[in-house]
Structure 1
Amino acid sequence: MDWFTAPEYWTSRLVFQRALAGVYLVAFLSAALQFRALIGERGMLPVPLFAARVPFRRAPSLFLLHYSDRFFAACAWTGCAVAAALAAGLDSRLPLWAGMLLWLVPWLLYLSIVNVGQTWYAFGWESLLLEVGFLAVFLGNDEVAPPIVVLFLLRWVLFRVEFGAGLIKMRGDDCWRKLTCLDFHHETQPMPGPLSWFFHHLPAPAHRVEVAANHVTQLVVPVLLFAPQPVATAAASLMIVTQLWLVLSGNFSWLNWITIVLAASALALPSDAPSSVPAAPLWYEVVVSAVAVLLVALSYRPVANMVSRRQIMNRSFDPLHLVNTYGAFGSVSRVRYEVVIEGTADDVPREDSDWREYEFKGKPGDPRRRPRQFAPYHLRLDWLMWFAALSPAYADSWFGGLVERLLENDRDTLRLLRRSPFPPDEPPRFVRARLFRYRYTSWRELRETGAWWERTYVREYLPPTRLSGVAQRS
């Protein structure tokens, strides 16, 4: 009897690997289509400037050894191609060692991107993809049944994702303890989806049930992942249902989807494993065991943080992002603010000038425009605009660069937007930003006006600025 592997998880591994490859594909596609304006040579936070001040040991990355926009694009599109090949099952047609190397390629490429991504890549799901992607390297292919220790480590990641998120909520905003956070959250979350308006208008008792169910799923159910089957399958299934609820209620990039992928690895699905699977080769057992010991040792700091009263969320404790700590929404905003950016072609900017609004793809802007579904695709600028509205400090490093590029009608920057109000060859003379308070309309207001949002001017965020010098924000 093979003590090292679990053939009964053959189908679960297959589902996990193919789905993870799909997440990788979305992540690389997001990088390929957005990097030039964000971190490219002429981006808001250029990689070459970052590379000049950060040593390789702090942020291991191919792009600290060499950077050009062409090289970055080649790496990102290579990541897309490899992810697509993995989703199609190419790793199963290779020798075990070659399949492992193939899984290592997207991990190395995405690590290189994340470690130079700076603010644009400072999200928990980036580290989560890297941690899970590293484990996928050692999960094997059709030459061997799934290693028990790697399946355990995948559950260990899922446990930390859910339990860490549950703890930070209970320790954070008291609305989680009072079961009232979802009275606000569907309205104030970073990027609402097409159904978020309807979720917000659920009756108050339904919101209480949502929060209570969340606490059970994040603080009780994760422990059951380590119980015998079918209890572990039931626990993972509850997590999947909860994550699908979150998919429907908002745009959280691929956070929900990769959590679903993790949960799939714990499901006891009907197995179609061959009747006779060769025992794992000795070299494979040694490598997997050594990696498991390393990851268990690296778990010390994330666990210490998770049980600490001063718990922080979404932190990586090693430059390779091998074992991380997770959590989300320890505090919930009660009021939604949005930064609205406008430009004018007038020579002298006045209040009554012809100010035209830039439209973003995902973040709220035009009150009559219904929020769209973008997740698992990640609109990085839209997400950072949400943080900018919370406090100008969140945008100190990049907002001035954004305004400068809008004044130039920079093609790559405009591609991040839904619509620019100015023709490509006629950039605005001035750009300004204003802060508005947004709230969902009521059922009656929606019927009468067709508007999903009602917005109220709060204050100036950035005074009219011209290309000769970007003024300081107020």
Structure 2
Amino acid sequence: MALLRYTRDLFLRAVCVVYLFAFISFYVQIPGLYGDNGILPAKAVLENSKHKTFADKVHYEPTLLWIASYVGLDTNYALDLLALLGSFLAFTGFVSQKFCTIPLFAGLWSLYFSLYQVGQVFVTSQWDDLLLETGFLCLLVAPLIPRKPRGLKVSPCDKINMWLVKWLLFRFIFSNGVVKLISGCPKWWDLTALSYHFEAMVLPTPLSWYAHHLPLWVLKLTAVYVQVAELALPFLFFIPVRSVRVTGFVFQIVLQMFIVLTGNFSFRDLLTVALLISLLDDNFFYKIRNAKNKSRIIPNLFSVVLHLAVCYAVYLLYQFKYNDKVGELDVKINFTKEQFNLGLQYAVITATFLGSSTLFMTILQALAKSANEYSGAVKYGNIAKTVLFAGIALVLFSGGLVPIQSLHKGTNTTIQTPQRTIYNRLHKLRAINEYGTLFNKATGVNGRPEIIIEGSNNIEGPWLEYNFLYKPGNVNHSLPFVAPYSPRLDWQMWWAATSKYQKESWIMSLAHRLLDGRPEVMALLGPSPFPKAPKYVRASLYSYKFAPQTEKYSWWRREKVGEYFPAFTKTAPALVDYLVARNLLPTPSKEAINPIWKQILEAIRLATNQLEGTLLLWSVFLAGCIVIATSTKMK
């Protein structure tokens, strides 16, 4: 039975790094997004609660913000405190393994879930859900107390808990692959989706421009790799052959590397890499002493044969043909939508069988280890502990089957009522989630939609544009690397461009804050074109396309599509009434604040405001690396 001690520890510290990035990103944007003068004040969420008693509020809308008034804080300062406390806990887990225990991860999960509860539209991206579900699993993976000295036996439950991490990894990757084809998107079916993907993604990187201009045959082959890596290879995660899982790890790491280089997807890809650690064992990182010498010829041969079979299946499922006329390789999908639909049903059934069988085998191995390698009270204690964790694993597996079985209408009808109950209750806590609903169709086929907000002191103009820090605007501005920082306003502007402003209450709130000249909100944008707040604000919808390779000084070409929202003044009845109806007008806080808390939190805020968000994030990470390096040298 392969050891998972070092692997488990590495996974826990990697999750702490992701938590660190997530909390710092959230903290930087609190005043502009959730403060009293922010776009979507968090206190409005609490004030709009229909529950009167404290117990009901905590039960139906659980968040630590409910206790803010009891510790001398208002909602704004409480948000700061929660984000700072989360950053501190994540930093301690990052720099020292001995802090990676259940109490620390309970604190991290509770704090991030509390922030998530008031995040509203800005936390609808799937990586917030993925982080909360991963953090919930860390409560099972992490030890109760600091790890024992190296050389002592580890818990038999580690195998069960790390299996749950692998099950989450499978669900996440497989779901993201399936939805691309079941959506019926013609661009994914003819393998040309990547011809538009890099241009139309929410926040492109500088390398997105170069990826977009790759030859079509390269992009098509890449699309095949994406489909195979997301649809077929995840099933190999459960093969009980170490070399197969290691190979699967390599294939997925390659995919994540390309995603990181060509797209700013916040901390999602780093979190995916952390989950991929579950495919490894301690022997991947160092040779275990006193390990029995076992022949690897048969497992390695099996791995080669298995991957050759996958390659042959790819050859059958995709038609590869060299076009002599253009001198390029062409590739097409060689199966119909009906065949895929039938295959998906069998795939879901296979996933259910592989998941249940390997989980039961893992539980039996853990029970055998508890019974055979221990004696006395320790033996019975480990057996009882294994039975407890096995029961929890079975519950989580059963609930996690719901989003997988829901992928096909044939298997959706087989979901039992107890399964749905488990899923619904755990989903409320974001402990089990559905993935793959975002980016299931190729967007921006005719150019990426982009909202350009303009201000003026005269209705006749001139109108000056507001530039954002990270999203496309000025066609000559270079594209930034942002991830793992998460600029939630820039991200949400992309989604607003695919909708109508009447359905996006937050963008009306943003317009009002610009007319009011709120510095908290202005800090989320680039330098203002106005010394003071403008009298009028309007927004236009543009279509952006990457500039051709022949243009040396422009990244984009754009064309105006039309009006997004009309010109408003600060006191325009249509704007004011719209915001009043949604309790989004800025109002001063009436909550009492402890002056000591206020002084401390304002001092920290003043210090952190000196650094731009991504620079602050990487500065803290670098500080953690220095702490680790210096502490290692001192040992």
CA distance in 1, matches of 2:536, 2:244: 61
Q: Deviations over 1:395-422 (max 9, x none)?
A: 5220111011111111110111122112
Q: How far is the alpha carbon of 1:286 from its aligned partner?
A: 5.2
Cα separation, partners in 2 of 1:61 and 1:398, compared to 1, 3 Å = same
Cα separation, partners in 2 of 1:458 and 1:181, compared to 1, 3 Å = same
**1:43-82 correspondence to structure 2 within 5 Å:** 43-51=38-46, 52-53=48-49, 56=57, 57-64=59-66, 66=68, 68-82=75-89
Of residues 177, 180, 185, the one that matches 2:192 is: 180
Match of 1:365 in 2: 473
**1:279-428 correspondence to structure 2 within 5 Å:** 282=382, 284-285=385-386, 287-308=388-409, 317=424, 318-327=427-436, 328-333=438-443, 334=445, 335-344=447-456, 346=457, 348-350=458-460, 353-392=461-500, 396-423=504-531, 426-428=532-534
Q: How far is the alpha carbon of 1:166 from its aligned partner?
A: 1.0
2:92–2:99 CA contact under 8 A, matched in 1:
no
Cα separation, partners in 2 of 1:301 and 1:451, compared to 1, 3 Å = same
Q: How far is the alpha carbon of 1:442 from its aligned partner?
A: 0.4
Q: Which amino acid in the other structure matches residue 385 of structure 1?
A: M
Cα separation, partners in 2 of 1:215 and 1:161, compared to 1, 3 Å = same
Cα separation, partners in 2 of 1:310 and 1:301, compared to 1, 3 Å = closer
Match of 1:126 in 2: 128
Q: How far is the alpha carbon of 1:470 from its aligned partner?
A: 6.4
Match of 1:3 in 2: none
CA distance in 1, matches of 2:527, 2:501: 26
Match of 2:554 in 1: 451
Q: Percent identity at matched positions?
A: 31
**1:217-232 correspondence to structure 2 within 5 Å:** 217-228=229-240, 229-232=242-245
Of residues 433, 438, 447, the one that matches 2:539 is: 433
Q: Which has the higher contact order (CA 8 A, sep 6+)?
A: 2
Q: Which amino acid in the other structure matches residue 366 of structure 1?
A: N
The reply on whether 1:257 has 2:280 as its aligned counterpart is no
The reply on whether 1:206 has 2:314 as its aligned counterpart is no
1:342–1:357 CA contact under 8 A, matched in 2:
yes
Q: How far is the alpha carbon of 1:431 from its aligned partner?
A: 1.1
Q: Give 1 or 2 for the bigger CA radius of gyration.
A: 2
The reply on whether 1:11 has 2:6 as its aligned counterpart is yes
CA distance in 1, matches of 2:269, 2:179: 18
Runs (5+) with no aligned partner, structure 1:
1-5
Cα separation, partners in 2 of 1:215 and 1:85, compared to 1, 3 Å = same
CA distance in 2, matches of 1:291, 1:101: 18
2:4–2:159 CA contact under 8 A, matched in 1:
no
Q: Which amino acid in the other structure matches residue 233 of structure 2?
A: V
Runs (5+) with no aligned partner, structure 2:
52-56, 69-73, 149-153, 292-372, 413-422, 579-635
CA distance in 2, matches of 1:39, 1:200: 36
2:63–2:114 CA contact under 8 A, matched in 1:
yes
Of residues 14, 20, 23, the one that matches 1:25 is: 20
CA distance in 1, matches of 2:266, 2:135: 17
2:175–2:404 CA contact under 8 A, matched in 1:
no
Q: Deviations over 1:85-130 (max 9, x none)?
A: 000125x268xxxx21111110111111112211111111011001
Q: Which amino acid in the other structure matches residue 118 of structure 2?
A: V
1:9–1:271 CA contact under 8 A, matched in 2:
no
2:163–2:278 CA contact under 8 A, matched in 1:
no
Q: Which amino acid in the other structure matches residue 337 of structure 1?
A: P
CA distance in 2, matches of 1:180, 1:72: 44
Q: How far is the alpha carbon of 1:10 from its aligned partner?
A: 2.2
Q: Which amino acid in the other structure matches residue 3 of structure 2?
A: E
CA distance in 1, matches of 2:259, 2:220: 15
1:139–1:150 CA contact under 8 A, matched in 2:
yes
2:34–2:76 CA contact under 8 A, matched in 1:
no
Cα separation, partners in 2 of 1:308 and 1:49, compared to 1, 3 Å = farther
CA distance in 2, matches of 1:121, 1:54: 22
Q: How far is the alpha carbon of 1:427 from its aligned partner?
A: 1.3
Cα separation, partners in 2 of 1:394 and 1:112, compared to 1, 3 Å = farther
CA distance in 2, matches of 1:470, 1:340: 23
Q: Deviations over 1:53-97 (max 9, x none)?
A: 36644442222454611111001000000000000125x268xxx
The structure with more helix, counted as a fraction of residues = 2
CA distance in 1, matches of 2:186, 2:482: 30
Match of 2:568 in 1: 465
Of residues 249, 254, 260, the one that matches 1:241 is: 254
1:10–1:272 CA contact under 8 A, matched in 2:
no
Once the two structures are overlaid, the 10-residue window that deviates more, 58-67 or 363-372, is: 58-67
Q: How far is the alpha carbon of 1:22 from its aligned partner?
A: 0.7
CA distance in 1, matches of 2:557, 2:573: 30
Number of aligned positions between the proteins: 450
Q: TM-score by structure 1 length?
A: 0.89
CA distance in 2, matches of 1:208, 1:470: 52
CA distance in 1, matches of 2:196, 2:411: 25
Match of 1:110 in 2: 112
Q: Deviations over 1:183-205 (max 9, x none)?
A: 11110111111110000000000
CA distance in 2, matches of 1:105, 1:254: 20
1:237–1:267 CA contact under 8 A, matched in 2:
no
CA distance in 2, matches of 1:23, 1:273: 29
2:37–2:513 CA contact under 8 A, matched in 1:
no
Once the two structures are overlaid, the 10-residue window that deviates more, 288-297 or 179-188, is: 288-297
Cα separation, partners in 2 of 1:7 and 1:231, compared to 1, 3 Å = closer
Cα separation, partners in 2 of 1:290 and 1:273, compared to 1, 3 Å = farther
Match of 2:95 in 1: 88
CA distance in 2, matches of 1:209, 1:395: 39
Of residues 151, 161, 165, the one that matches 2:172 is: 161
2:501–2:565 CA contact under 8 A, matched in 1:
no
Q: How far is the alpha carbon of 1:231 from its aligned partner?
A: 0.6
1:243–1:260 CA contact under 8 A, matched in 2:
yes
* CA RMSD, 1 decimal: 2.5
- SS of the aligned residue for 1:435 comes to strand
